[in-house]
Amino acid sequence: MAAVAAAFFSMSILAGNFSVAGNIQAAVEAADSVKAFADTLRFGPDSLEDNYLRVSLLIAGKGAAVYSTFGHAAVRIQCPSKDADLAYTYEAEIKYLKFIEGGLMANFMVEPTQSFLDTYAKEERNVTEYALNLTPREKLCLWRNLRRDNMEGPDGRFDLVRNNCLSAALFQIENSLYGERIEYCVPEADAADKGPREAELAVNGRFFREVLASSPWLKFATLFFLGVECDKTWPYEQRLEPLEAGVVLQKSMIVSSDEVLLRPVAGEGKTLVSFPPKAAREPSPLTPELIFGLLFALSLALTIGELSLKWKLSVRIFDISLFIFQTIVGCFLFYESCIGGFLGIHWNWYLIPFNPFPIVYWLLRGKYETHEHIYFFYALSLLVFLAAMPFVTSQISLAGELLVSAIFVRCIGLTFKRRYNR
């Protein structure tokens, strides 16, 4: 289920990005705007008036699709004297397998701002604009950097966590500053003065539990694949989601090299596309906790039936299904945690219960029946995992514990099967 949920989430994200990317590539009129806008480079930054270039951050709200859960971000560049109005948005290649392999490349795509707004209007998603308080020289530098990135083509590895639409935009904005930096308004900075709850939310695992509370399957899949990253605290700008970016940037400050607070990063928001608020969607009643709880109950019932009533066929079918599922999830988890890494390369605690050992041994047990007690030691390792992990990592969830418990119960059943069936 975890692999399926993660795969669905991944494909949904790509589908959302690529629908926008397709519009970008199809917008032929953008080429004329860029060509006319290129004349801007002939001017020195000191000769530009303050309003010669206008730069802002566009934030698209969430929609009905899964991929829109966190919103979307783009950088808007306007040059009224050149009649140019462009939106630069960080997009990925149209290669689904590359995403799963962790090798998906991305760069800033460009389209007329009106085309960008029309795309999100069709999806009934709000778009808000936040003017960026940059100097004329910094505005020109930002546009140069975005244009260069667009012309060079995909050259950055797309990462859902560290290199996405918002983090890439913030990097380009900060990279355009001259002798200055951005000091982000970080709520967690004074967490120690706010109480234990705020301090707990500084940890990634607890943070994502809070943010994704309304999407149980997305929350489970995120925690399942994040591994030990759940126990870390990333820089706030990496965890910042587009829907919060506008408010945070209004409170964040541009700081000089001698640590003098100069000005807010962004001004007040201006609504460009607006739709009436929609009622929050109720989470599906079929939560991971419910599904894996039922799986655990079924595993327990079949084990009792096998040991006391000598059930065979139904137990065998269940074992085949469970161990094949465990093997597929384990192989996929190993690949993504140690090789591919669409969420980064890192250790994942779920690699302990999810591996091919049970099914391999289950298939070979006919030859090595005298060694069936090995299931006991594997079950013991799962028991230690279930008991210890909640105190070791914030990655572990109730749904994950129930899923591992189902495997644990079957390993116990296979351990004592011959003794009860004599």
Phi, psi of 261 (to 5 degrees): -70, 120
Closest to 399 (Cα-Cα) out of 274, 254, 212, 263: 212
pLDDT of residue 334: 86
- Count of C-beta atoms within a 10 Å radius of residue 229: 20
Output the pLDDT for position 185.
80
Say if residue 253 is in the same domain as residue 378: no
262 with 335, same domain? no
In a domain, 23, yes or no: yes
148 and 180 part of one domain:
yes
248 shares a domain with 117: yes
Under the phi-then-psi rule, with left for phi > 0, alpha for psi from -120 to 50, and beta for the rest, what region is 301?
alpha
- Reported pTM: 0.73
Same domain, 260 and 298: no
Are both 116 and 87 inside the same structural domain? yes
Spatial distance between the Cα atoms of 41 and 34, rounded to a whole number of angstroms: 11
At residue 99, the pLDDT reads 59
Which residue range(s) make up the domain with 322? 288-420
Residues of the chain with confidence (pLDDT) below 50 = 1-29, 31-32, 35-36, 39-41, 45-47, 189-201
pLDDT digits 0-9 by tens, 291-338: 999 999 999 999 999 888 888 899 989 988 998 898 899 888 888 888
Same domain as 295, residue 263: no
pLDDT at 142: 92
**pLDDT value of position 16:** 42
| Residue 134: both structure tokens together | 């940059």
Rg (CA), the chain: 26
Does residue 247 fall inside a structural domain? yes
Q: Does 269 lie in the same domain as 134?
A: yes
Half-sphere exposure of 24 (CA within 13 A, CB side): 23
Q: Is residue 152 part of a domain?
A: yes
- List, edge to edge, every strand of the sheet that includes 72-79: 156-157, 105-112, 84-92, 72-79, 54-60, 127-132, 266-273
The answer as to whether 106 is a domain residue is yes
Model confidence pLDDT, tens digit, residues 276-288? 877 666 767 889 9
The CATH number of the domain holding residue 263 is 3.90.1720
Q: Print the SS3 string covering the chain.
A: CHHHHHHHHHHHHHHHHHHHHHHHHHCCHHHHHHHHHHHHHHCCHHHCCCCCCEEEEEEECCCCCHHHCCCEEEEEEEEHHHCEEEEEEEEECCCHHHHHHCCCEEEEEEEEHHHHHHHHHHCCCCEEEEEECCCHHHHHHHHHHHHHHHHHCCCEECECCCECHHHHHHHHHHHCCCCEEEECCCHHHHHHHHCHHHHHHCCHHHHHHHHCCCCHHHHHHHHHHHHHHHHCCCCHHHHCCHHHHHHHHHHCEEEECCCCEEEECEEEEEEEECCCCCCCCCCCCCCHHHHHHHHHHHHHHHHHHHHHCCCCHHHHHHHHHHHHHHHHHHHHHHHHHHCCCCCCCCCCHHHCCCCCHHHHHHHHCCCCHHHCCHHHHHHHHHHHHHHHHHHHCCCCCHHHHHHHHHHHHHHHHHHHHHHHCC
pLDDT of residue 289: 94
Give yes or no: residues 129 and 17 share one domain: yes
**Are the beta carbons of 328 and 322 closer than 8 angstroms?**
no
Number of structural domains the chain divides into? 2
Assigned domain for 381 exists? yes
Whether residue 211 lies inside any domain: the answer is: no
pLDDT value at position 360?
A: 72
| 191 is a domain residue | no
Q: Are residues 248 and 378 in the same domain?
A: no
Same domain for 265 and 348, yes or no, is: no
Q: HSE on the CB side for 33, CA within 13 Å? A: 21
Q: Is residue 226 part of a domain?
A: no
In a shared domain, residues 265 and 155: yes
